[in-house]
Amino acid sequence: MAVVFNKTQGLTEKEFHYCPGCTHGIIHRITAEVLEELGVLGDAIGVAPVGCSVLAYDYFNCDMNEAAHGRAPAVATGIKRALPDKVVFTYQGDGDLASIGAAEVVHAAHRGEKITTIFVNNAIYGMTGGQMAPTTLVGQKATTAPYGRDESLCGQPLKVSEMLATINGAAFVERVAVDTPANIRKAKKAIKKAFECQLEGKGYAIVEVLSTCPTNWGMTPVDAISWLQENMMPYYPMGNLRNPWEVE
Amino acid sequence: MAKAKGKVTFDEARCKGCGLCVTVCPVGIIKLDTSRINVKGYHPATVDEMDKCIGCANCATMCPDVIISVERE
């Protein structure tokens, strides 16, 4: 028998600390597989965020750096400018990127920094205990919104990909999900393109990945996947928003 | 046409019993073994009828903890 699926070299042997059913693990794996397939593991430098994935530097089998909350694109900018031959990426959650780090990501995209961002959107602050994030859906309950997000008080959830797609420096913007094996394969393709965008020097690339948080949503992992499909996907439509190769 | 034959291996000690692999198996042979508890304190995912496995790797694609490896003939 031939091995058709084995753990990628892009991940270390360390066990993920994530809760059961947390899709961070899937996104870690496909990102690491892309780095391995592109043959850039030895040249890759990742920047970990603050949030559940704060320990991502333990899991990726490449050079990693840790940034202050939300500042991963600023740290990645410095690394890429000092070492332009390296493949630099940030891995950030929605509490990190869409809230405290909104300015950093907008300006990194605006400057057209040749870095790649993996943006994990699970519509909640995970590590700190399920507080409302900018991406929390209207009506969705969180510890700081016990009756659900009130639109008149907190506004509508922020669509980060659509916002960044209005910036010319953002060369590649795509939203994907990891709810089914088919969508996971599509997500991996998008992440691969986002790294190719950087390798070809086209500009800033970001992939928004719709993800689950079973623990803070208060659901089983299987129910959380259904909730993502029924509630998040209609508000955050999947698809490519910017593509540097679309002229072909 | 002969059906594809596959074999999946679980690193049971690292399984967190989330059950996502159970939902994506097209032949429905994966289950959480409620008669056992692994070192982490979860019911690990397991397969009893391995001869039905087609080696599609859906379970391994979905597994958040990357504990499944798949072989195919």
Judge whether residue A138 has pLDDT over 60: yes
Given pLDDT bands bounded at 50, 70 and 90, which one contains residue A248?
low
Q: Is B64–A4 a contact, with Cβ atoms under 8 angstroms apart?
A: no
Domain residue extents for chain A: 24-242
Task: Give, in order, the Cα–Cα distances in Å from A226 to each of A87, A91, A163, B29.
Answer: 35, 25, 26, 21
CATH of B6-72, one of 3.30.70.20, 3.50.50.60, 3.60.15.10, 3.40.640.10: 3.30.70.20
Model confidence over B27-57: pLDDT tens digits? Answer: 999 999 999 999 999 999 999 999 999 999 9
Can you name the CATH fold of A24-242? Rossmann fold (3.40.50)
Given pLDDT bands bounded at 50, 70 and 90, which one contains residue B4?
confident
- Nearest by CB to residue A2, choosing from B16, B17, B71, is B71
Which chain B residue lies closest to A23 (C-alpha atoms)? B64
| pLDDT above 90: percentage of residues in chain A | 98
Model confidence over A41-60: pLDDT tens digits? Answer: 999 999 999 999 999 999 99
The predicted structure's pLDDT at residue B6: 94
Q: Most B CBs within 10 Å: which of A1, A3, A5, as the mutation test of the B interface?
A: A5
Q: What is the mean pLDDT of chain A?
A: 96
Judge whether residue A246 has pLDDT over 80: no
Domain residue extents for chain B: 6-72
Model confidence over A105-126: pLDDT tens digits? Answer: 999 999 999 999 999 999 999 9
Q: Which residues of A touch B (CB under 8 A)?
A: 1-8, 11, 15-16, 18-26, 29, 180-181, 184-185, 214, 220-222, 225
* Whether B18 contacts chain A with CB within 8 A: yes
Which chain A residue lies closest to B60 (C-alpha atoms)? A5
The predicted structure's pLDDT at residue B2: 64
- Mean pLDDT on A142-168: 96
Q: Is B20–A29 a contact, with Cβ atoms under 8 angstroms apart?
A: no
Which chain A residue lies closest to B62 (C-alpha atoms)? A181
- Nearest by CB to residue A221, choosing from B20, B68, B70, is B20
Task: Output A139 or B3, whichever has higher pLDDT.
Answer: A139
The predicted structure's pLDDT at residue A101: 96
Model confidence over A55-104: pLDDT tens digits? Answer: 999 999 999 999 999 999 999 999 999 999 999 999 999 999 999 999 99
CA distance A58 to A17: 10
Task: Give, in order, the Cα–Cα distances in Å from A82 to each of A42, A75, A173, A205, B44.
Answer: 17, 11, 25, 19, 46
Judge whether residue B1 has pLDDT over 60: no
| pLDDT above 70: percentage of residues in chain A | 99
Which chain B residue lies closest to A178 (C-alpha atoms)? B62
Given pLDDT bands bounded at 50, 70 and 90, which one contains residue B73?
confident
